[in-house]
Amino acid sequence: MRKVFFLCALLFIGRIVIAQPSNKNPLGDYTELSDTKPHDSDAVWDKLPVAPQISWGSIDIRYNKRSIPQITKSARWQGKAWKGERVNAQALIWTKTDLTGATITVSDLKNGSNTIPSSAIKTNFVRYVMTDELSKDGTTGCGHRPDPAEWDSSIVADALDIIKVRDIQARTIQPVWMNVWIPSDAKTGKYRGTLTVSGNNFQPMNLQVEVEVMDHVLPAPEDWVFHLDLWQNPYAVAHHYQVPLWSKEHFDAMRPIMKILADAGQKGITCSIMHKPWAGQTYNHFDSMIGRTKRIDGSWTYDYTVFDKWVEYMMNDIGITKYIYCYTMIPWALSFDYYDQATNRIQFVEAKPGEAAYTEYWESFLKDFSKHLRRKGWFDKVTIAMDERGEEAMKEAIKVIRTSDPDFKISVAGYYHESIQHELHDLTIGFGHSFPEDVRETRRKAGQISNVYTCCAEARPNTFTFSPPAEASWLGWHAMAGDYDGYLRWAYNSWTEDPLRDSRFHTWAGGDCYLVYPGARSSIRMERLIEGIQDYEKIRILREIFTTKGDKGKLKRLNDAVSKFTAESITSTNAADMVNEGRKVLNSL
């Protein structure tokens, strides 16, 4: 009988969802929104030769879709990479006539008898998405924006498409993103090959690819020290893909999306242990992965079916195994759900930390949760997580946690509070703030994690769809300069209503809610973020090498380059110059 009651509860609060089919959620090809911004006239385009044009461009630029790129044409791209590293390049195709059936191929890269196979190279047509702007005073991406017409909106290049054959419209530019993942066993040396664009109504066009493989090895992403924590939203996937929540179809849909995250070195699994932990702030809100039932006799029982299924999937299928972040004991709205057998209804406890009802609700659960986690062998991976809550409220929540099981790990993303920092295994503070040096060292020696995060609050650096692409890479350098263990961002895939075409949201700046797109499409922002994480790892490895060898000269050159990446140093225009200069030093050592 309890299972029947519980099923009713699940249906009521949305843990079982059978979405209605919709044409608003494309997964394959789609039509981009129109851009109303100024662009080159037909007369300007008509001055081009009849044959389509092609050149390498810059990964630091989001090229205007309807304007001829102002570049010096280049047929050869040259890059440098460690073994095991991923490097990016961007090519551009522009044409005054319609092109049909355009496809991209890249040959094997050759260095004598040595080969980097074409299977190690990905190419994607770059797609355009609608974005907006910072606040009117240019200081933040936060703030309610219900009417898109009030904001300066435009389409920008960002999504890396999964569609491999495209028609290219006359008088437009079509960027192409190339990513080369160097095999970890590649031989040192220069490798050369060819990128070719072919089609139905034009002659094949070639660009030369040259990458120098250096004599250093970058570990596999799962072995990176950098602590990446991008919050996943499985509910958004079920809604967009129109599949039942927690069904086989749901997990199948999530697999390639979450694999992108695992390949970025993600360390944690995001779990919601209550209904709407963030008060439904996203287009698809989070629900509780754990069912709570209050029996007629007043005792409690808990159902971990969904929680277990999600965690096991992320660990076993995706390979994200280090931490399980459980949100939250202090939600934005202090209202806690449960199914009540006595009334046959979903009920809510309205209580603040420190109140008896709050303590009773959470202490009973945490004691049972602890036993369940120990049975599963997950206890040491779990942290009871909170974000951006007040100091006194967190003190009261910590009391309940310690009473329930003193060995629980606790994590907080928010403000630094000296009175509780020692309680926190994982403490992530906002950009522009820093840990006292002695505290940071004490935490590191204790095996605790000290991270930095950005959200809508920072005008820069950020990963909005209108942010300069290099700002995503800049974040990795800043994490190293600030001696942080890694970086957190609140939304990996909390998609908007029409995420492939429109990244704007009514509460924050465009792109704040997600870094990847439906259909397992990565983005320029995501690929550049991975670049910065790789640079962090390379710096860490080189520091160890130079310290061991006593090479003070190279160590100083490296440290001097890193030290420039402070919160005070970044402007609206200099991220690319800073990253490129830092990378030049890094690749010279």
Structure confidence by residue, pLDDT tens digits, 426-438 = 999 999 999 999 9
Residue 388: per-residue pLDDT: 87
pLDDT over threshold 80, residue 420: yes
The pair of structure tokens assigned to 139 is: 């200081």
Residue 21: per-residue pLDDT: 35
Residue 36: per-residue pLDDT: 87
Question: How far, in Å, are 41, 152, 154, 157, 210 from residue 37 at the CA level?
Answer: 12, 9, 6, 14, 36
pLDDT over threshold 50, residue 403: yes
Whole-angstrom Cα distance, residue 57 to residue 524? 14
Domain stops at, among 170, 186, 215: 215
Residues 154, 258 within the same domain? no
Residue 18: per-residue pLDDT: 32
Positive/negative CA dihedral, 368, 289, 256, 34: negative
pLDDT over threshold 90, residue 17: no
Residues 297, 340 within the same domain? yes
Residues 366, 268 within the same domain? yes
Structure confidence by residue, pLDDT tens digits, 257-273 = 999 999 999 999 999 99
Q: Cis before residue 468, ω within 30 degrees of 0?
A: no
Domain stops at, among 169, 189, 215: 215
Asked whether residue 36 is domain-assigned, the answer is no
Domain stops at, among 190, 215, 240: 215
Report residue 16's pLDDT band, with 50, 70 and 90 as the boundaries.
Answer: very low
Please report, rounded to a whole number, the percentage of residues in the chain having pLDDT higher than 70.
96
Residue 149: per-residue pLDDT: 86
Paired with 508 in beta bridges are 142
Whole-angstrom Cα distance, residue 503 to residue 494? 11
Whole-angstrom Cα distance, residue 583 to residue 589? 10
Residues 198, 250 within the same domain? no
Report residue 24's pLDDT band, with 50, 70 and 90 as the boundaries.
Answer: low
Residues 196, 235 within the same domain? no
Residues 346, 202 within the same domain? no
Name 22's Cβ contacts closer than 8 Å, sequence gap at least 6. 242
Residues 85, 208 within the same domain? yes
Residue 583: per-residue pLDDT: 98
Structure confidence by residue, pLDDT tens digits, 298-313 = 999 999 999 999 999 9
Residues 247, 126 within the same domain? no
Residues 387, 278 within the same domain? yes
Q: Alpha carbon 331 to chain centroid distance?
A: 22
**SS3 annotation, 35-72:** CCCCCCCHHHHCCCCCCCEEEECCCCCCCCCCCCCCCC
What rounded mean pLDDT belongs to the chain?
95
- Ranking 3-17, 233-247, 305-319 by mean pLDDT, the lowest is 3-17
Asked whether residue 5 is domain-assigned, the answer is no
Q: What is the pTM of this model?
A: 0.95
Asked whether residue 458 is domain-assigned, the answer is yes
Asked whether residue 21 is domain-assigned, the answer is no
Asked whether residue 28 is domain-assigned, the answer is no
Whole-angstrom Cα distance, residue 424 to residue 402? 12
Looking up residue 47, the CATH number of its domain turns out to be 2.60.40.10
What's the structural domain count of the chain?
2
Residue 8: per-residue pLDDT: 35
Structure confidence by residue, pLDDT tens digits, 72-84 = 999 999 999 999 9
Whole-angstrom Cα distance, residue 129 to residue 36? 13
Residues 204, 245 within the same domain? no
Q: Using alpha carbons, select from 418, 420, 223, 231 the residue that is nearest to residue 324.
A: 231
β-pairing verdict for 166-168 and 172-181: unpaired
Residues 234, 209 within the same domain? no
Mean pLDDT to the nearest integer, 1-14: 34
Looking up residue 435, the CATH number of its domain turns out to be 3.20.20
Report residue 488's pLDDT band, with 50, 70 and 90 as the boundaries.
Answer: very high
For 321, the domain range is 226-586
Mean pLDDT to the nearest integer, 237-243: 97
Residues 484, 539 within the same domain? yes
Mean pLDDT to the nearest integer, 146-169: 95
